[in-house]
A = this chain, B = another copy of it.
């Protein structure tokens, strides 16, 4: 979300932006999820009040947008390309669904249904309708949620319309631009880049084969496409989603799961271009990839989606928030020198209290508050376990209530224990994801080993049996420290190695390793020791290995030398990447010279 246009800082007067509603909406959505798990009358009262303001702000025709009601009422629907009107509508719909599901209260849901009904009259292929599409996607996935919640198919149809209309000629953004009297062609994205690729409207969606443009917009669109493909059983749309998924995850995704490497347009750049120190990798972009992954998972049970989802969640998403939950990263760089940002036009490499464009903090809030929605999906007879965490869930399988509880210290420990408690003995399937990072998983049911080679289908171990009260599943996912190498076409990482333990990506920080992290070299054979990290970063597992440090003495104070480099023995201390920058400024790197 174009943060680079704003320079607001805490203490300065609020600088309202046209998409203010979306921030409020994300907060309401987070409150909805939170109340579903943890009732809090005070918080609920506050949210009810805000919702009432929102409902009161709705216009007689159903329109609801505070900016275009109060500030610029004459500009309604005049600039879908830049002014985020449909984007705000989408976020309000998601908020309405979450709040209704969390509290049973319909005020916001009714308001947004009315708004969606009105939008459906304005946009479409009918003669009197505008053939508009959002410049910032979001409403597509939101409309599918609204359709699911209300059972009203027309919202799905509207979502479908917004997706199908994208990239059609004559281009709506040209039409509305000229209608505004704006004769300047759209150039966002710099020369030599298809201008409308910035907002994924350069081509019809089925013809888009690479993930382009602003990465949050892109994955919100793709997530919406996956939802529509699922609901409409549209195979060509599903295929387009897979093509884009593959392009992202095999060519354009950081090892921490972040996407959108370029801060110039907060966008995808090109295959294998993944700069570390200059990474953008907006927190919201990682979140959008999580949404895309989840919607792909609902379309097709393939662990690839859940593997990426888990990796992104544990690394590139939660890196966006500080230990105390009060400070945020907008961009999630993979290497840092404390002075570099001063001379590179980047943001500070320390988390900030807030942003002028505060899209990321409430986005993290709604994701973390809804994390339980990511653990499982189900069909009538199968429960898929995608993520591993302590939880207590009640699921209806084959018309039977099944209570499932889990005990685990995952991702720090290797074991997860489930207790399955169906109301009655019943045959159904539990499908457990076998994480891609784990070479030797084992699953015992009531102490009996499952043959995982036989049980494995697309990365899930399918266990079908007659389950009865008290059945135990004991999972072990061994977590040896692993070295990760980037494809040789990633020019930034050739000769370097990243370290993971389980799903957790590690990094080096100056406070543990001294200055000049690039001078450290991890020998190919070095063994890692796992120790508890300092309390200040949660005493989580920290990795220690013998290493080498390039000895500066042969340079004799000069900058360049023809002497063969020498090394001194050293120690390398790695902490989980998402915990970096919680102990003051300093260098950091994920990729280590090997």
Give the CA-CA distance A542 to B449 in the complex, in Å.
Answer: 63
Residue in B339, B491, B560, B564 whose CB lies within 8 Å of A517: B491
Give the residues from 231 to 266 in chain A that come closer than 8 angstroms, CB to CB, to chain B: 249-251, 253, 255, 261-262, 264-265
CB <8 Å contact, B340 and A250: no
Q: Which segment, of A102-110, A151-159, A190-198, A393-401, faces chain B? A: A190-198
21 A/B residue pairs, CB under 8 Å, sorted by A: A190-B343, A250-B558, A255-B560, A262-B343, A264-B343, A264-B345, A270-B343, A275-B277, A335-B491, A486-B559, A488-B516, A488-B550, A488-B552, A489-B552, A491-B516, A491-B517, A494-B550, A495-B495, A495-B518, A495-B521, A498-B560
Give the CA-CA distance A500 to B4 in the complex, in Å.
Answer: 41
Q: Which 8 A-B pairs have the closest CB atoms?
A: A491-B518, A269-B343, A488-B519, A488-B550, A494-B518, A262-B343, A495-B593, A270-B339
Residue in B344, B518, B555, B561 whose CB lies within 8 Å of A262: B344
A511 within 8 A of B: no
Give the CA-CA distance A155 to B343 in the complex, in Å.
Answer: 37
Q: Which segment, of A49-57, A89-97, A477-485, A572-580, faces chain B? A: A477-485
Instruction: Tell me how many residues of A have a C-beta within 8 Å of chain B.
Output: 67
Residues in chain B near residue A515, CB distance under 8 A: 489
A534 within 8 A of B: no
CB <8 Å contact, A273 and B488: no
- Identity of the chain B residue whose Cβ is nearest the Cβ of A439 in the assembled complex: B562
Give the CA-CA distance A340 to B492 in the complex, in Å.
Answer: 12
A26 within 8 A of B: no
A294 within 8 A of B: no
Give the CA-CA distance A557 to B249 in the complex, in Å.
Answer: 10
Give the CA-CA distance A411 to B546 in the complex, in Å.
Answer: 45
Minimum C-beta distance from A203 to chain B (A): 18
- Identity of the chain B residue whose Cβ is nearest the Cβ of A345 in the assembled complex: B264
Give the CA-CA distance A487 to B195 in the complex, in Å.
Answer: 42
